[in-house]
Homo-oligomer: A and B are copies of this chain.
Amino acid sequence: MQRYRIIEDPIDIGEVVTKVEDRNAGAINTFIGTVREMTKGKKTVFLKYDAYVPMAEKKLEQIGDEIVEQYPEAKVAITHRIGRLDIQDIAVVIAVSTPHRADSFAASRYAIERIKEIVPIWKKEHWEDGEEWIGDQLEKKSYSKGHPEEEDLT
């Protein structure tokens, strides 16, 4: 079972959830990222996602490992889709199971934030009047040294 995947086809939510089922899980949190039409008043027509696939899958796995280090009973699965996505399409599904609910929320939130920091996936927004590669990191911080600090990577 491959728990960290980059795929080109639509993501099956149930399949991702199934990967984290566990007799001692009382909670499964899933985060589903979808393509939103309006961002800051601008209308998206469609998106294209690209990835450095083998490294992206490794980095998703690293995120899962980081979660298990913090929550030893957690199980994690993440699938990210690449290629052309239309409005409402699902770009990413994260599923985290834990014995108790608070940890499942915290770990799922951690996973999506980490994806936006270290996983080599890029989104190109296509509007009616143009297109642009988006760099989410720049919204929050700039890597002046050309790479993330040690704390962002490990």
* A interface residues with partner B (beta carbon < 8 Å): 13-14, 17, 21-39, 87-88, 97, 99, 101, 104-105, 108-109, 112
Interface pair A31/B27, CB less than 8 Å apart: yes
- How distant is A149 from chain B, measured CB to nearest CB, in Å? 23
* CB-nearest residue of chain B to A112: B101
Q: List 7 A–B pairs whose Cβ atoms lie within 8 Å, in order of A's numbering.
A: A13-B14, A23-B36, A27-B31, A27-B33, A29-B30, A31-B101, A101-B112
Q: Pick from B23, B27, B32, B108: contact of A17, CB below 8 A.
A: B32
Q: Pick from B24, B34, B37, B104: contact of A37, CB below 8 A.
A: B24
For A99, what are the chain B residues with a Cβ–Cβ distance below 8 Å? 36, 38
CB contact under 8 A between A21 and B33, given known A13-B13, A105-B108, A108-B105: no
For A22, what are the chain B residues with a Cβ–Cβ distance below 8 Å? 88
Q: Pick from B13, B34, B101: contact of A26, CB below 8 A.
A: B34
For A109, what are the chain B residues with a Cβ–Cβ distance below 8 Å? 105
For A39, what are the chain B residues with a Cβ–Cβ distance below 8 Å? 26
Complexed CA–CA distance, A29 and B31 (Å): 5
Complexed CA–CA distance, A23 and B43 (Å): 11
For A28, what are the chain B residues with a Cβ–Cβ distance below 8 Å? 31-32, 34
For A14, what are the chain B residues with a Cβ–Cβ distance below 8 Å? 13-14
For A34, what are the chain B residues with a Cβ–Cβ distance below 8 Å? 21, 25-28, 97
